[in-house]
Chains A and B, each alone.
Chain A
Amino acid sequence: MLRYALRRGGWTVVQLAVLSVVVFLLTDLLPGDAATVDFNEQAGLDQVAQLREQMGLDRPAAERFADWAHGLLTGDLGTSLVGGGPVSGVLARSVTATAALAAVTLLLLVPLAVVIGLVTGLRAGSRTDRVVSAVTLTLTSVPDFVLALLLVALFSLRLGWLPSTWVGADDLWWQRPELFVLPVAVLLARTVCVLSRQIRAGTLTSLNAGYTVQARRLGVPPVRLVLRHLLPNAAVPGVQELARTGDHLLGGVLVVEAVFAVPGTATALVEAVQNRDVPTVQALTLTLAAVACLLNLAADLVSRRLAPRTEVLR
């Protein structure tokens, strides 16, 4: 296990290194650069040229990348081309909000999805199952931006129960739990449905597996049977899905961040791409990628523990 974890860890480092090159190339491929974008609608071409020189964008790409990589190795994420501040500051500010949102979502997601998945899986075909499955299926099929708009329209504008956005929450958002309700609800809606369907499928297969049947024959009572014998096997696809969900939560909550004006990583990343702010894009992407890698690693380790046989497969 340790050996496996170390090998996977090493591979993650390689992955991140290659990714940084890919990301650099991708952003470099984009039309325009930080200087053109920065002076859009404000200044003429000569001013743009001057700014470009100041930002060092007139140097060859390889040189810029080397500089950046050198900085990274010495623990310096560089300075933002646009704001002029350190990238680490941008990172710190945006990561906290998203991480908080993701954490709250995950905290609710896991028990909810497990319970729904188990109940529907164990009662497959029953009325409960059909009703819950229909609801989850429909919820997975509602685009999250439509859902977000509807929730805001109902709970903030019509009923006035909940704040509609994080505008003006400043850095005090963590003191105001009501800010989390709607964004988390939108984030949960789809993920709970997808995850619980996975767990339902896993439950169905392990429900009929020989080991479950045998455990029942040996008199293991139902609740224990489900939690100790069935769930570990049923959870394998769920754990993998969860890793992807975590990744999605950290990087893909753009719609939610946009609608609720949450100052998070997704917003920061899109903005950085639009600004062609390469150092910021790099830092954000690598952070997200590193988190994704860690989540995948964790998921693989857990799956490996849950389904240890895979180690012999190759």
Chain B
Amino acid sequence: MEPVIEVRGLTARAGTAVLLDRVGLTVAPGEVTALVGPSGSGKTTAALALLGESATGVRLSGEVEVAGTTVVSADGPARLAPSVRGRVVAYMPQHPAHALNPARRTGSVLAELARLHRPGGGRRPAAAGYAAEALRTAGLPDDLATRRRFPHQFSGGQRQRVALAQVLVCGPRAVVLDEPSTGLDTVARLRLAGELTRLAADGIAVLLLSHDHDLVRAVATRTVLMDRGRVTAEGRTADLLPARPAAPVPAPAPGPAPSPGGGRAALHARDLSAWLRPGRRGEVLRDVTVRVPEAGCTAVVGPSGSGKTVLARCLAGLHERHDGQVSLFGEPLPVLRHRTPRQIRGVQYVWQEVRNSFDERRTVLEQVARTAVRLRGLSPREAERRAMRVWERLGLSSEHAARHAGSLSGGELQRAALARALLAEPAVLICDEITTALDEVSTRAVTEEITRLREGSGTAVLWIGHDLRLVELLADDLVVLDAGTVVDHGDRRAVLSSPRSETTRLLLRSRHLGAAAAGGTPTPYDLRREGQPHS
């Protein structure tokens, strides 16, 4: 079939750096094409170029043609580029949190886009129909309450789906999805896989940018491999990304493997309840108990919006509207404001939406090194030296260190944030989905670093993540959260092999994307249960 997108010799430069080097690829209708490569290899840059766009300071050249329209020519973006946006190619960005207008209701934006791009969308009911359909396809309920919500009233994963709905409602001929599965729990991810296949089946060209090889294998017919701005291989997915052995190697529980539930509790939270608004309104956690033993690793999983981030923030002392007890080695732990430097050093937290936690005015390294200066009393020079060491172990180069957060890719920043926490040499490390933007190499670097810490310094780790494979790799204990309550907990193996709650079973059932085609699409969650109603 005639390809919808054709890219030839696409080059992107920032200053002297070459971000893309004569990239060529095609995306055909009716199938999913995957763009895969390590973090920082230029995937996002290439995807943006399909719309004739680039980040500030980045210059494009080459040839990009979309449905017969030239979007990029030898001397940069072409004049007609804007005409393809939305109607022909719709792009979903890597950080959808950024992409939603805080002042607009979800439904009104969707209807507006439908009116703009869909035939007959000018009529109100038709537009509303398209909007509802897009919401459903993205895995969100299409009721009035959802349509009237503002972006901030959704959880991270839900916002991802809102952004997807915006892309779908345009009815484009090609969709470009940049890391659509970050922050999605297995159930949602499974649904997403199903959706992508269906889109392709409807004759739409899908370009998928992802680190999630399972997802790529499940949906993409063709794959383009990238590395350092070049296309290194292109072909059938099955050839380029051979399927893993059926059962993922369940890495033996690492290190000293303390007896499950045994060992001194490094961090212990009992009967934790948390709420969003004053007067205990908007409760998000109820009577949650979590225990992380010394040198142990406890994982927290649960559907998107179940309260994992809030739990992590309670433990880090950042979320103050909570009650129940939190203790560090038996000693009660107050909220962050009242913690002593020793206690602050004891519990460190790595953000889920990491870009926001870096200051644009200082270089990333400077910010990372401060931890060691403040909490370990090192001199700034010494601190930077140590920072660089951790930095390199996580697979970052010294060249990244002098940059500001804005010019680092998503995965690079995620690792920087981890380095920032690690420099404190904490007793407890809370990791909130810290591998979502990482490729496999970087993920391995991160897990290795964590394992090293547990073995070397006896650091306890609270791991929050959707990726059950990693959970199996790292965690000793497992806590399953749903709608703010613990529905399952105990030894990881025990929970996974004999789940007690429906939520756990659902998560487990959806973990293998291969089942997607057979299992059909699971029903969407009840949003009302996930998010607290606001009004």
Contacts and interface: CB of A to CB of B under 8 A. Distances in A.
Contacts, number: 78
A228 B116 CA distance: 13
B101 A215 contact: yes
Interface string B93-127: 10100111111100000001100110000000000
B102 A307 contact: yes
A233 B170 contact: no
Interface stretch (A109-117, A122-130, A216-224): A216-224
A309 B93 contact: no
Given A214-B93, A217-B91, A219-B170, A309 B85 contact: no
Given A211-B100, A229-B101, A312 B86 contact: no
B93 A229 contact: no
A252 interface: no
A229 B95 CA distance: 19
A312 B152 contact: yes
B138 interface: no
B102 A217 contact: no
Given A210-B93, A309-B152, A312-B152, A220 B102 contact: no
Interface string B312-347: 000000000000000000000000000000000000
A308 B93 contact: no
A216 B95 CA distance: 16
A308 B105 CA distance: 10
A114 B364 CA distance: 38
A236 to B, nearest CB: 8
Contacts of A229: 101, 104
A217 B103 contact: no
B90 A211 contact: no
Majority secondary structure of chain B interface residues (helix, strand, loop or mixed): mixed
Contacts of B535: 1
A233 B99 contact: no
A215 B150 CA distance: 16
B82 to A, nearest CB: 7
Instruction: Determine which residue in A1, A210, A212 has the highest number of CB atoms from chain B within 10 A of its CB, and name it.
Output: A210
A213 interface: yes
A210 B99 contact: yes
Nearest to A228: B112
Contact of A213 (B99, B103, B163): B99
A219 B86 contact: yes
Given A233-B103, A307-B103, A308-B152, A218 B113 contact: yes
A209 B150 CA distance: 17
A306 B112 CA distance: 17
Contacts of B51: 217
Given A218-B167, A219-B116, A308-B152, A232 B104 contact: yes
A218 B116 CA distance: 10
Interface in B244-284: 276-277
B86 A220 contact: yes
A224 B117 CA distance: 13
Residue among B112, B163, B277 having the largest count of chain A Cβ atoms under 10 Å? B112
A312 B319 CA distance: 13
Contacts of B82: 216, 219
B149 to A, nearest CB: 10
Contacts of B104: 228-229, 232
Contacts of A312: 152, 276-277
Contact of B150 (A220, A224, A233, A308): A308
A219 B87 contact: yes
Most buried by A among B51, B102, B152: B102
Interface string A296-314: 0000000001111100100
- Rank and list the top 7 A-B pairs by shortest CB-CB distance, nearest first: A219-B86, A210-B98, A214-B99, A211-B101, A232-B103, A219-B85, A218-B86
Given A214-B99, A218-B113, A232-B101, 7 more contacts: A210-B95, A214-B163, A216-B82, A217-B91, A219-B82, A233-B102, A309-B102
28 contacts: A210-B93, A210-B95, A211-B101, A213-B99, A214-B98, A214-B100, A215-B101, A217-B51, A217-B86, A218-B86, A218-B113, A218-B167, A219-B85, A219-B86, A219-B87, A219-B90, A219-B113, A219-B117, A220-B116, A224-B116, A228-B104, A229-B104, A232-B103, A306-B103, A307-B102, A308-B102, A308-B150, A312-B276
Interface of B: 51, 53, 82, 84-87, 90-91, 93, 95, 98-104, 112-113, 116-117, 150, 152, 163, 166-167, 170, 276-277, 535
